[in-house]
Structure 1
Amino acid sequence: MTPPRLALVPGEPAGVGPELCVRLLQQPRDYDLIAYADPRSLRAAADALALPLTLLPPDRPSRAPGEVAVVEIPNPVLPAFGTPEPANAAAVIQALRDAAQACLDGRLDGIVTGPVHKAAINQGGIAYTGTTELLAEQAGCEVVMMLANAVVRVALATTHLPLRQVADAIRPEPLARTLRILDAALRRDFGLTRPAIAVLGLNPHAGEAGHLGREEIEVIEPLLERLRGEGLNLIGPLPADTAFLPAKLRGYDAVLAMYHDQGLPVLKYSGFEHAVNLTLGLPYPRVAVDHGTALDLAGRGLADPSSLIAAATACARIARTRRQTGATP
């Protein structure tokens, strides 16, 4: 089997993304990387780190340390470290879209992405809520965000919503789609034959029999019972304050949190450096770092590449699994 061919997209050129890519490229790897980036940003990062970097044409991928094939996506402005330029917004988005299109066309097997700067993209005149949403729109499919490390996998029923809007967003059909996508991805991408999914309640104590809210009784519990009839192995709804106890986590393959900050603080506390962000439901694997652009660290050689290394490793593993099984979303 030929090695997986993965797109590597650094993200915000003024942040730590380019230098994390340079550090990743120094590591031994059993997959090919093709960077979708401005070569100047990669070279500037390599110079700042005093690390070797050889840029090759896109049709000559190399796994040698310090070498990478590049599809050039020029930025109008070469930014200073730590200072995003809104003028580069279109190039940042183009790199993501072009890499994704290569996967949709079958030329590449997956995407590994660095952090982007949402404010700079929006200031550049592009309405942008997140890469997860952008890739889903481009592929024309429903997706689920899941973050994972060696301790726990946490998927999200809602993502970047104000807290006031979360309760209204917990509705039967969107929640059913999320659970079906999560179950299918755990089977397809992680090789689990009957994944156990812990589903958190929305309210404290999972509503405490209706005394602290009725979403569990009126929405979540009836839905879980219906999906169990389809063969999904669902546990809950569970109180979020005890669901993550180590003894309980050993009984789950993943946890579905109702909103962003219900589940992700626990995951990040349990292993932030090695956590990755997966977009489930796409026709190809996409794995990203689980951190932001860290503008204050950019160019200083202090950024930890562990999350990007873990993301590339995970993306290659999922790409191999999909190839072996011929699996599709």
Structure 2
Amino acid sequence: MSEGALVVSLGDPAGVGPELIAAAWAAREAKLLPPFVVAGGAEVIAAAAQMRGLSVPIREVFHPAEALECFDFMLPVLAGADGDYRPGSPDRTGAELALASLTEATELARSGDCWGIVTAPIAKSLLAEVGFAHPGQTEFVAAACGIAAEDAVMMLAGPTLRTVPLTVHVALSAVPALITADLILRKARIVARALAQDFGIDRPRLAIAALNPHAGEDGRMGHEDGAVITPAIAALRAEGIEATGPHPADALFTPRSRATFDAALCMYHDQALVPLKALDFDEGVNVTLGLPIVRTSPDHGTAFGIAGKGLADPGATIAAIRMAGEIAVRRGQT
């Protein structure tokens, strides 16, 4: 792969994104981060860095290639959209800046001008007020790439665990009807391919979580595990994918069990995110699988309540940038 840079979107300027981007650049040498350029918000990041007591000289650039010339000694930020830094006070103007940054960053990754995109946290409700019609950034980036939302798979990855929620932002009461063999097969195939291509795992091992307690106990606690999940696992194994389960979720994430799989496919949002955040919160990364471009994001939200107070940990942002760079390199070598 030729030398290039990642692009980082600003996120909501009233959240922790700007200060964590500045903190990541300040830690670039210690954390061995690849070069990155920020899509807009030069004044916002400068103010966030100053608030945090960081020395982060900023250079406005007009093309991502310029980032390579200055990244070692200045944080490159694309000239253009900008605004005021008002941490903890989200508003419509900030949402417009967040959307402009996300749109530009996505296009730069999609066009190949950047290796990939790292998205800082947004406030979805505010973005909806300025015309954002997607459930989240994952769906926005997928649509920009011409990929169906169901083929853009969210994986949460940390140093000790990778999990994939098969259903995401839906009510728990709706989950059983959404769990189908086709859903499991479709997403498991995407996960297996991505683990091989993006994470360098030759024979990915997938653990499929049960939906019900004790995997249904032969139908006494629900029929989905035996009627839907078990046949899907058999079909995956017939395709040569190393899949096991359905595993009762209360035992799936113990240290001994985690050593037996490379990713756990979970039936619903909290089943996947609770163990990941319990184990790897400060280094958790949201990776979108199934896209033609690389996209990662820190696995936390805008945290308006602590924005501008110097309390936010940059670990997940640093991990997201590092992981995006590693995946980009692997894709360039395949």
What residue number does 1:8 align with?
8
Partner of 1:74: helix, strand, or coil? coil
| Alpha-carbon distance in 1 for matches of 2:43, 2:184 | 44
- Of 3-12 and 177-186, more deviation after overlay is shown by 3-12
Partner of 1:209: helix, strand, or coil? coil
1:55 equivalent in alignment to 2:64: no
Q: Deviations over 1:67-92 (max 9, x none)?
A: 222223425x5252101112333332
Aligned amino acid, residue 287 of structure 2 = L
Partner of 1:198: helix, strand, or coil? strand
Q: State which of 61, 70, 76 in structure 1 corresponds to 2:77.
A: 70
Matches within 5 A, 1:183-194: 183-194=192-203
Q: Is the 8 A contact 2:16 2:307 kept in 1?
A: yes
| Alpha-carbon distance in 1 for matches of 2:259, 2:9 | 34
| Alpha-carbon distance in 2 for matches of 1:111, 1:215 | 37
Shift of 1:172: 2.0
Partner of 1:212: helix, strand, or coil? coil
What residue number does 2:328 align with?
319
| Alpha-carbon distance in 2 for matches of 1:266, 1:192 | 22
Shift of 1:13: 0.4
| Alpha-carbon distance in 1 for matches of 2:308, 2:59 | 19
Partner of 1:247: helix, strand, or coil? helix
| Alpha-carbon distance in 2 for matches of 1:106, 1:210 | 50
- Of 219-228 and 14-23, more deviation after overlay is shown by 219-228
1:267 equivalent in alignment to 2:276: yes
Shift of 1:146: 0.6
Q: Which runs of 5+ in 1 are unaligned?
A: none
Which consecutive aligned stretches of 4+ in structure 1 deviate over 6 angstroms post-superposition? none
Q: Is the 8 A contact 2:16 2:302 kept in 1?
A: yes
| Alpha-carbon distance in 2 for matches of 1:148, 1:265 | 12
Q: Which runs of 5+ in 2 are unaligned?
A: none
| Alpha-carbon distance in 2 for matches of 1:283, 1:115 | 22
Q: Percent identity?
A: 37
Q: State which of 203, 207, 211 in structure 1 corresponds to 2:216.
A: 207
Matches within 5 A, 1:104-183: 104-141=110-147, 142-183=151-192
Q: Is the 8 A contact 2:225 2:246 kept in 1?
A: yes
Shift of 1:272: 0.6
Partner of 1:140: helix, strand, or coil? coil
Aligned amino acid, residue 121 of structure 2 = P
Partner of 1:323: helix, strand, or coil? helix
| Alpha-carbon distance in 1 for matches of 2:253, 2:156 | 14
Aligned amino acid, residue 72 of structure 2 = A
Q: Is the 8 A contact 2:15 2:307 kept in 1?
A: yes
Q: Deviations over 1:182-202 (max 9, x none)?
A: 000000001111110000011
| Alpha-carbon distance in 1 for matches of 2:161, 2:52 | 33
Q: State which of 73, 90, 115 in structure 1 corresponds to 2:96.
A: 90
- Of 252-261 and 291-300, more deviation after overlay is shown by 291-300
Q: Deviations over 1:286-312 (max 9, x none)?
A: 111011111121111111101101111
Q: Is the 8 A contact 1:3 1:30 kept in 2?
A: no
Aligned amino acid, residue 78 of structure 2 = V
Q: Deviations over 1:126-181 (max 9, x none)?
A: 33311111111211221110111111100111111111111111112222111111
Q: Deviations over 1:41-78 (max 9, x none)?
A: 1111122123222223133213324x222223425x52
- In the superposition, the TM-score normalised over structure 1's length comes to 0.94
Q: State which of 207, 219, 224 in structure 2 corresponds to 1:198.
A: 207
Partner of 1:43: helix, strand, or coil? helix
Q: CA RMSD in A?
A: 1.6
| Alpha-carbon distance in 2 for matches of 1:54, 1:232 | 47
- Of 54-63 and 227-236, more deviation after overlay is shown by 54-63
Shift of 1:2: 4.1
Aligned amino acid, residue 41 of structure 1 = V
Aligned amino acid, residue 109 of structure 2 = C
Q: Deviations over 1:100-138 (max 9, x none)?
A: 222221111111121111122123343331111111121
- Of 231-240 and 169-178, more deviation after overlay is shown by 169-178
Aligned amino acid, residue 36 of structure 2 = L
Q: Deviations over 1:243-297 (max 9, x none)?
A: 1111111010110111110121111111211111111111111111011111121
Q: Is the 8 A contact 1:31 1:63 kept in 2?
A: no
Partner of 1:120: helix, strand, or coil? helix
| Alpha-carbon distance in 1 for matches of 2:58, 2:85 | 21
- Of 42-51 and 146-155, more deviation after overlay is shown by 42-51
Count of residue correspondences: 323
Q: In the superposition, relative to structure 1, how do residues 254 and 4 fare at CA in structure 2: closer, same or farther (>3 Å)?
A: farther
| Alpha-carbon distance in 1 for matches of 2:165, 2:303 | 24
Partner of 1:69: helix, strand, or coil? strand
